[in-house]
Chain A
Amino acid sequence: MKIVRVEEIEDAVRRLSMDVNYYIRDELREAYKKALEKEVSEIGKEVLSQIIENVELAASEQLPVCQDTGVSIVYVEIGQEVKIEGGNLYDAINRGVSRGYKEGYLRKSVVRDPLFNRVNTGDNTPAMIHVEIVPGDVFRITFMAKGTGAENMSRLAMLTPAAGVKGVRDFVLKTVAEAGPNPCPPIVVGVGIGGTFDTVGWLAKKALMRKFGSRHPDPNYAKLELELLDEINKLGIGPQGLGGRITALDVRIETAPCHIGALPVAVNLDCHAHRVGVWEK
């Protein structure tokens, strides 16, 4: 049996909070460079150059790449042979977020109540925590700092089975086209298909938390991911929506079985900063 102490969890979350905001992953930096090579619009190229310059500056001075350091989404995969010791898992995660956002000079962007009493909690807690029990003895935390510019442009639809692939494709394209410049393109698109109303949104978020450039294990969906990427890049939105060929950097789909009468689809957009980090024990 593997033991994981809550102190380790708190520290991992604290470090992830800061690291994802200061340091953009190598694979994403590569994607920016490739995008710059492919982009044809002059203003689009300028925007991509600024994005590249910004991530270098942020890393060298440990500054957040974006002022919206996001709501903290923490996805914990716990192997069923793992034992957590020393306290409460949820409290440890929130202590990690609180310390990371305070010690790292990150913006606190969470209000206690959504409607009647929108008062800032002051330390970016609570995090949005998702826990899944998995086989084996893995303990993995995937941390995402999710800005709201792209989150607000995300959409969910309860399609019917007759809508099929075309229905899903049109819904993804419509969501991206209507979002236009608002989610900070070039974007990353997470698509959830299947499950129920409650699970499909989480599938889309999980697609965003998956490794950049990774393909769905089912070749039908893997192909659809690449086709959607190609079609999104024909919408003409371009970097920052100013016109161009690079609107998205990646499209990833997550799927689940669903009811005989249902075809839920969720499209979760992420901005070009696409801040995700992983810690494993």
Chain B
Amino acid sequence: MGEVIKRITPPLDDKILEDLRIGDKVLITGKIYTARDAAHKRFVETINKGGQLPVDLKGQVIYYVGPTPPKPGYIIGSAGPTTSIRMDSYMEPMLKAGLKATIGKGYRSWGVVDLLKKYKAVYFIATGGVGALISKKIKKARIVAYEDLGPEAVMELEVEDFPVIVANDIYGGDIFEEGVRKYQEIALPFKIERISEV
């Protein structure tokens, strides 16, 4: 696990991605985009129809989040990551469109781990269930598409020192598998299968 904290700003190029390894702590500063289930569905429908996406994904970072509404005087409400695996079946067209990183929580199916290697992209995790804390790293927020989706609208966020960990790198590494291998202290009479969406 890397002890050095790496700092990155999107758009991400190959040089940045090649330097990231699972376990690395990374601080993101700059613009990132939010999208979750319903927005992904529309993105991929648009791609399949040959239409233009409301956001140019080249080199960009998508944060899987549906924040709570901001209280008066706040930029955004609570804004932690949602479970990433639900977006797995949308990944390939998104990566083809140039997406270079996603931020969420939980593991990706092995199919996505392979896709990340193939398309040279990374998967970051942020801590799940600490949405109040994470909201303080968001300095600006504005809706850029699909406002009708309410909490699932696509937003552009300006973040500062937004803390994430590399969970899957471009080399096929997986942080969760390594963690469990290190700490498991019980023999199981069954094989642990990763829930798969791809």
Q: Chain B contacts of A235 at CB under 8 A?
A: 180, 184, 186
Which parts of A28-77 form the interface with B (CB within 8 Å)?
A: 40-43, 47, 50-51, 53-54, 57-58, 61-69
Question: What is the distance, in angstroms, from B24's C-beta to the closest C-beta of chain A?
Answer: 12
Q: Is the CB of B77 within 8 A of A149?
A: no
A170 interface contact, C-beta 8 A: yes
If A178-B193, A236-B180, A243-B182 touch, whether A57 touches B105 (CB-CB below 8 Å) is no
Q: How far is the CA of A54 from the CA of B71 in the complex (A)?
A: 17
Q: Is the CB of A170 within 8 A of B189?
A: yes
A184 interface contact, C-beta 8 A: yes
Q: How far is the CA of A177 from the CA of B194 in the complex (A)?
A: 9
Q: Is the CB of A240 within 8 A of B127?
A: yes
How many chain B residues touch A (Cβ–Cβ < 8 Å)?
Answer: 53
Q: How far is the CA of A272 from the CA of B184 in the complex (A)?
A: 20
A244 interface contact, C-beta 8 A: yes
How many chain A residues touch B (Cβ–Cβ < 8 Å)?
Answer: 57
B107 interface contact, C-beta 8 A: yes
Q: Chain B contacts of A149 at CB under 8 A?
A: 82-83, 105-106, 128
Q: Chain B contacts of A210 at CB under 8 A?
A: none
A105 interface contact, C-beta 8 A: yes
Which parts of B1-51 form the interface with A (CB within 8 Å)?
A: 1, 38
B111 interface contact, C-beta 8 A: no
Q: How far is the CA of A122 from the CA of B152 in the complex (A)?
A: 12
Q: Is the interface of B mostly helix, strand, loop or mixed?
A: loop
Question: What is the distance, in angstroms, from B102's C-beta to the closest C-beta of chain A?
Answer: 15
If A107-B69, A236-B180, A236-B184 touch, whether A50 touches B130 (CB-CB below 8 Å) is yes
Q: Is the CB of B78 within 8 A of A66?
A: yes
Q: Chain A contacts of B80 at CB under 8 A?
A: 66-68
Q: Which residue of A has the minimal Cβ distance to B189?
A: A170
Which parts of B141-189 form the interface with A (CB within 8 Å)?
A: 149-152, 165, 175-176, 178-186, 188-189
Out of B65, B77, B179, B194, which one reaches A236, CB within 8 Å? B179
A241 interface contact, C-beta 8 A: yes
Q: Is the CB of B131 within 8 A of A67?
A: yes
Q: Chain B contacts of A53 at CB under 8 A?
A: 130, 133
Q: How far is the CA of A58 from the CA of B78 in the complex (A)?
A: 9
Q: Is the CB of B151 within 8 A of A63?
A: no
If A65-B78, A105-B70 touch, whether A238 touches B179 (CB-CB below 8 Å) is yes
Q: Is the CB of A51 within 8 A of B71?
A: no
Q: Chain A contacts of B82 at CB under 8 A?
A: 67-68, 149
Q: Is the CB of B65 within 8 A of A67?
A: yes
Q: Which residue of A has the minimal Cβ distance to B86?
A: A152
Q: Is the CB of B78 within 8 A of A67?
A: yes
B129 interface contact, C-beta 8 A: yes
Question: What is the distance, in angstroms, from A3's C-beta to the closest C-beta of chain B?
Answer: 36
Q: Is the CB of B128 within 8 A of A240?
A: yes
Interface string of A225-262 (1 = CB under 8 A from B): 00000010011111011111100000000000000000
Q: Is the CB of B129 within 8 A of A234?
A: no
Q: Is the CB of A181 within 8 A of B176?
A: yes
Q: How far is the CA of A234 from the CA of B182 in the complex (A)?
A: 11
Q: Chain A contacts of B38 at CB under 8 A?
A: 118
Q: How far is the CA of A87 from the CA of B170 in the complex (A)?
A: 60
Which positions in B face A, CB cutoff 8 Å?
A: 1, 38, 65-71, 77-80, 82-83, 85-86, 105-107, 125, 127-133, 135-136, 149-152, 165, 175-176, 178-186, 188-190, 192-195
13 contacts between A and B (CB under 8 A): A47-B127, A54-B129, A54-B130, A106-B69, A170-B189, A174-B190, A177-B192, A178-B195, A182-B105, A182-B195, A184-B105, A236-B184, A241-B179
Which positions in A face B, CB cutoff 8 Å?
A: 40-43, 47, 50-51, 53-54, 57-58, 61-69, 105-109, 118, 120, 122, 148-149, 152-153, 170, 173-174, 177-182, 184, 231, 234-238, 240-245, 271-273
The 9 closest A-B pairs by CB, nearest first: A243-B179, A236-B184, A236-B183, A182-B106, A54-B130, A234-B186, A67-B131, A184-B128, A63-B132
